Amino acid sequence: MCCFSRKVDSVTNTNIFARASKDGRQFLVYSMQFKAGEDLSMILPIPVPAESKEDAVSFINLEKYPKFFDELKLGFPEEPSRGGLKDKDTYSLPPKKLVVVEVGSFVASFVPSIKDFDRLDEQFRLPAGVWDKLPAYKNFGFAVFKLKKGEQKVHPMAFEFPRANRRQLFFPTVHIHDGTVPAQAGFDHALYCQTDGEDSSMWVESAQPAEMFMPNLEEAKGIIDPKGHAYRKIMKGRFDNKDVVI
């Protein structure tokens, strides 16, 4: 689960993958299943350098690799069933418009800073004042994915962004509920990564390199290191409502 601009009825089976890329950048892949009664956006805060340009984030189309996380999961012992979470609460997240990019079955935009949200259509923004409650994000940028109403599992959403801290891998896991930020939140997440010096000592390591259990790596477009092992952390239940960083 993450930040949504409108009410969602349920969000389940969230999967996130992270790996460092070249020149201090990071790959991030995000997937989930959700149900919503109206069109909305999913907003992922990302720690980019200050004054990042509008083209700083590169969106990657994984429409032809819908089983990205299914194959990644094969590198680990079978996990207990993740039944998902439902919440009756609302989930919330004329200047020149931001660039909109078609990425498979949805469209996406990079919002360089909080003030740039005014350049998105209102239905795809969080309510006014929400970011005032989140001072830690005042220097962040935001990857925004516009999603259609209904019940669906979207194909993995992927992008590459410049990191403000080149020594860290970042996982956007903070929850925003109806314009509020609870101290704790319900998680139904599987986090995956491949590391390049980052501390994954508390994560479970795959027994083999990725090329041994991901048969369709040619569709990953360089996001996965074929020779590297993968690491996984399951978060199911209630946790402190914050992002995960290693």
Q: What is the pLDDT of residues 184-203, one digit of tens each?
A: 888 889 999 999 888 998 99
Q: What is the pLDDT of residue 182?
A: 79
How many C-beta neighbours within 10 Å does residue 39 have? 15
Percent of the chain at pLDDT exceeding 90: 54
Of 190, 165, 174, which is closest to residue 244 (Cα–Cα)? Answer: 174
Please name each of the domains of the chain with its CATH number: 3-245 (2.60.250)
Cβ contact 122:95 at 8 Å: no
pLDDT tens-digit map of 101-115: 655 567 889 999 998
Q: Which residue has the tokens 């914050």?
A: 242
Give the pLDDT of residue 213: 97
pLDDT score, position 179: 63
Is the pLDDT score of 87 beyond 60?
Answer: no
Q: What is the mean pLDDT of the chain?
A: 85
Cβ pair 244, 191 in contact under 8 A: yes
Residue 238: CB atoms within 10 Å: 12
Coil vs helix vs strand at 3: strand
209 or 80, which is more confident: 209
Q: For residue 108, what are its two tokens? A: 């996406």
Which pLDDT belongs to residue 105? 62
More confident residue, 120 or 91: 120
Average pLDDT (141-150) is: 89
pLDDT confidence tier of residue 7, bands split at 50, 70 and 90:
confident
pLDDT at 88: 38
CA–CA separation, 243 and 44 (whole Å): 10
pTM over 0.75: yes
| pLDDT at residue number 131 | 81
Residue 40: pLDDT band with limits 50, 70, 90: confident
Q: Residue 177 — very low, low, confident or very high, per pLDDT cuts 50/70/90?
A: low
Q: Given a cut of 70, is residue 93 above it in pLDDT?
A: no
